[in-house]
A and B are shown apart, each in its own frame.
Chain A
């Protein structure tokens, strides 16, 4: 089905490619959202992905799914965009905002409950702060595995890396993020103690 659609699009059937865009743009947007939080950047990346896909349709042989093929193009395109933009800040554990401090206070008690809708933005900011200590590749591996519960194999397929490489990246990223969080929590506790004194 996907293969036929891809062949029709390759033969110049515009409506076939429009159908591909309609069907898979949520998936491509989901991948791009892992890398960018601004809508304009996500849309720019997604458009780039479909333009690349259009020109490379001939290389889709139908062995895997079209969704998997597009996911890989999306992942590599976004990684290249992040690498070329050089927007990655050097350090994550700078001063916490008031919202972030209160979020950490609220969630340091309890056991693994999900943040409320109101606090999810603060949690997302905190996640970005933690993720910024990682390379874009390590961010990708960690977000997919720990954030989306993807398997090692799924990450390997989406990125084109070997499974052992994915494991190493995820382990290293998880350790770094945990240590960065420990620093944030330690700092937050110190601030709370000094405020109490």
Chain B
């Protein structure tokens, strides 16, 4: 019970904030109680190292103010540029490389020998020939159809 009481005092406030009567109480108890003695010793040492740590501060360098003001100017410049330009600034590499790739592909498709059929060979194919499996040479012309019809009529007569 006494042990708990003393550790509570130690944990409730910093060593420097303990009143003289509280310190006397802790010290008196620590003389009689082993666990409380080590708790008090640890609290005292912790307070010393924490004070030492708190005193370890880094001072600003002489150039710090200049650096901050430069960073602020840079930030202001960035903010003053319209969003579309900022977007362009960050995306221009990607867009440029895509445009370059498109131009290169276009140039290649014109420069290399074509593998697609030319217009003449295309015209040799008609819907009929494709459906009937006939080539253009086998197609019956309109004149041939007419002459065939009239020949048949003549024969019939």
Taking Cβ atoms with an 8 Å cutoff, the residues of A that contact B are 14, 17-18, 21-22, 25-26, 29-30, 32-34, 37, 39, 42-43, 46-47, 50-51, 54-55, 104, 107-108, 111-115, 120, 123-124, 126-128, 130-131, 142-143, 145-149, 171, 174-175, 177-179, 181-182, 185-186
Contact = CB atoms under 8 A, between A and B. Distances in A.
Contact of A182 (B38, B57, B73): B38
Q: How large is the interface on B (under 10, 10 to 19, 20 to 34, 35 or more residues)?
A: 35 or more
Given A39-B58, A127-B52, A21 B42 contact: no
Given A25-B64, A51-B72, A178 B39 contact: yes
13 contacts: A21-B64, A21-B65, A21-B69, A25-B60, A26-B60, A112-B15, A124-B49, A146-B14, A146-B47, A146-B50, A146-B51, A147-B50, A178-B43
Please provide the 9 A-B residue pairs with the shortest distance between their CB atoms, ordered closest to farther.
A147-B54, A127-B53, A123-B52, A181-B42, A146-B14, A127-B49, A182-B42, A33-B57, A25-B60
Given A29-B59, A123-B53, A178-B39, 15 more contacts: A14-B72, A21-B64, A32-B58, A46-B68, A47-B67, A112-B47, A120-B52, A124-B52, A127-B50, A127-B52, A130-B50, A146-B16, A146-B50, A149-B16, A178-B7
B12 interface: yes
A51 B75 contact: yes
Interface of B: 7, 10-12, 14-17, 38-39, 41-61, 64-65, 67-69, 71-73, 75
Name A's interface SS: helix
A49 to B, nearest CB: 9
Contacts of B14: 145-146, 149, 174
